[in-house]
Amino acid sequence: MKLQDFLVKAHKATYASGKEPKKNNQEADQYVYQEDKYEYIDSYFGAEYFVGIEVVKESGKVVWGMNYYGRYAANKKYNEEFPPFLKKMLSKTKAGILVRGPKSYKEKEWSYRYVYKGAFNNFTAKEVIKYKGKKIFEAVLAGGNIK
């Protein structure tokens, strides 16, 4: 299994699956997924304003990582519809630079856009979700191979 294929499985098996995260020893929310020689760890703090890091270990050694920071404009309507929409976008992840969801997607009043520069081994990216044309979620990401 290739690293990129594993990362797709890990995203789908963690946050996108709807499973609740556990707390790690720093009190961050955390997801962990393992398969074969790979282990994925996603740890983050916050909710409306959040920061996090994802790393992938191969045979116990960290080989890839991504950090992210973002903002979410929470309200009752968004709190009900936003999480399922974001999880749906992450479940559309495919191997390659699209480390998150598709480049763009629209569904009723919701829209998703993911833009990036670079390659899987060294990239920066931005993810935006809008509701009725109003930006309610934004995340900035950067990552790549770790040696």
Nearest CA among 133, 97, 130 for reference residue 115:
97
- Give me the pLDDT at residue 64, please: 97
| pTM (2 d.p.) | 0.90
**C-beta of residue 43 within 8 angstroms of C-beta of residue 24:** yes
Low-confidence ranges of the chain (pLDDT < 50): none
What single-letter amino acid sits at 136? I
Tell me the average pLDDT of the chain. Answer: 92
Q: How many domains does the chain have?
A: 1
- Give me the pLDDT at residue 16, please: 87
User: Residue 32's domain spans which residues?
Assistant: 3-145
Residues 4, 122: Cα–Cα separation, whole Å:
13
**C-beta of residue 33 within 8 angstroms of C-beta of residue 40:** yes
Residues 119, 74: Cα–Cα separation, whole Å:
32
Tell me how far apart the terminal alpha carbons of the chain are, to the nearest angstrom. 20
Residues 129, 143: Cα–Cα separation, whole Å:
21
**C-beta of residue 64 within 8 angstroms of C-beta of residue 55:** yes
Spell out the residues 6+ positions from residue 134 whose beta carbon is closer than 8 angstroms to its own: none
What single-letter amino acid sits at 98? L
- Give me the pLDDT at residue 97, please: 66
Token couple for 65: 């990582």
